[in-house]
Amino acid sequence: MTRDPVRYAMIGGGEGAFIGPVHRIAAAIAGNCRLVAGALSSDAERARRSGEAIGLPPERSYASYDELLQGERERPAGERAEFVAIVTPNHVHAPAMIAALEAGFPVLCDKPLTDTLDAARAVEEAARRTGGLVGVTHTYTGYPMVRQARALVGSGELGAVRRVAVKYTQGWLGKQEDAVGKQAEWRIDPARSGLGGAFGDIGTHAFNLVEFITGERMSRLSAEIRAAVPGRSLDDDGAAMFHLEGGGRGTLVASQICTGDANGLEISVWCEEAGLHWRQEQPNSLRVARRGRPEEIWTPGADRTYLDETAMAVTRTPSGHPEGYLEAFANIYHDFAEAVRGRAPQRPVYAGLHDGIAGMRFIQAAYDSSARGGEWVDL
């Protein structure tokens, strides 16, 4: 029997945005989602123009998220949006998410969850009150080889995690003159970005990846964060040492002033019996270096029957046909849409509300530690 796609509405993501179009392509690749409505900008005229540009029916291209939530609620059940995607600057995440939850819509929100830890707690409270579903698009957990890494650690065959090294380095804010353009501007403005300097913007991805692959919570950290480029008020460069709850130790670097780096997310997880190594820019290779054995390169592919089911489930092509960032993003959309249908996997393989809040705690802890000269802080 055929299945209709899950209908969704988008808040944010209008003209000039980076991540909004990525969400829309991701949903198209996912194959089980369809965009039916949007409030693409907080500016009513811009929202209208943006909706038209992407082919939204005018009556479902709303001037604000409040209008969208009300408008969609009033539509017949078989037609109204079934979930809402939020892709605004960070400071709008919490109010939009809370409004959506209260209007009865599940929410898939871009990361970080909110602009402040207090706002995150308010979202948590709203989710508890309404019983609504929340997902956070930590894209990188959508890659098959990241899911494979998680499965290998989770199987227990590699033993305990001992050390982790994760870094997320970009160079695109390397100079004062780089911080221009719509997406750069709000990212370095504390009022819109909140705790979202480099540690919020990409540090949370690194943090999430650590917790996702190890299956453990980060328990403590010592951090040093700074605004390295003169004239900035938000952090653009920082590092931390951390502990995992299971006894492992780690280092984390998050910086947007690492000249020459594009999207340099890399992680090594050393367990007792093997080390796992993954680089976002070569996402289809997972190096598995076992004790006393030649190193192995794991790759995805519909014909790689030895892969974990969570990796296989998101592999569209035979081995050697590389999938990338957009497909990883699509995998988050796919799984979230299935959850909206009530077919969530038992152990979800995308970030949920708890992960989103953990991310906010991580940022807050890093700020606190840094402010206190690197003191170790519990998360």
Residues 242-271 close enough to bind a second copy by CB under 8 A: 249-251, 253, 255, 257-264, 268, 270-271
Beta carbon of residue 202, minimum distance to a second copy (angstroms, whole number): 11
Task: Name the segment binding a second copy (CB under 8 A); options: 72-80, 166-174, 203-211, 360-368.
Answer: 166-174
In angstroms, rounded to a whole number, what is the distance separating the alpha carbons of residues 201 and 188?
10
Q: Binders of a second copy among 116-145, rule CB under 8 A?
A: none
| Helix/strand/coil for 276 | strand
Helix (H) or strand (E) holding 249: strand 249-255
Beta carbon of residue 282, minimum distance to a second copy (angstroms, whole number): 7
Q: Is 228 in the site for a second copy (CB under 8 A)?
A: yes
Q: Under a CB-based contact definition with an 8 Å cutoff, are residues 302 and 312 in contact?
A: yes
Q: Is 71 in the site for a second copy (CB under 8 A)?
A: no
| Residue 283 neighbours by CB under 8 Å, 6+ apart | 143, 145, 146, 323, 324, 325, 328
Query: Binding marks (x or -) toward a second copy, 30..69, rule CB under 8 A?
Result: -x--------------------xxxx--------------
Q: Binders of a second copy among 286-325, rule CB under 8 A?
A: 288-299, 301, 303, 305-306, 316-325
Amino acid letter at 272?
E
- Which one among 241, 313, 344, 379 touches a second copy, defined by CB under 8 A? 241
| Helix/strand/coil for 226 | strand
The torsion angles phi and psi of 170, rounded to 5 degrees, stand at -130, 160
Q: Is 346 in the site for a second copy (CB under 8 A)?
A: no
Q: Binders of a second copy among 319-338, rule CB under 8 A?
A: 319-327
Q: Is 157 in the site for a second copy (CB under 8 A)?
A: no
Beta carbon of residue 236, minimum distance to a second copy (angstroms, whole number): 10
Instruction: Give the number of other Cβ atoms within 10 Å of residue 283's Cβ.
Output: 22
Beta carbon of residue 69, minimum distance to a second copy (angstroms, whole number): 24
- In the bound state with a second copy, the residue whose beta carbon lies nearer, of 70 and 282, is 282
Query: In the beta sheet, which residues pair with residue 224?
Result: 239
- 269, two tokens: 């997880």
Q: Under a CB-based contact definition with an 8 Å cutoff, are residues 71 and 80 in contact?
A: no
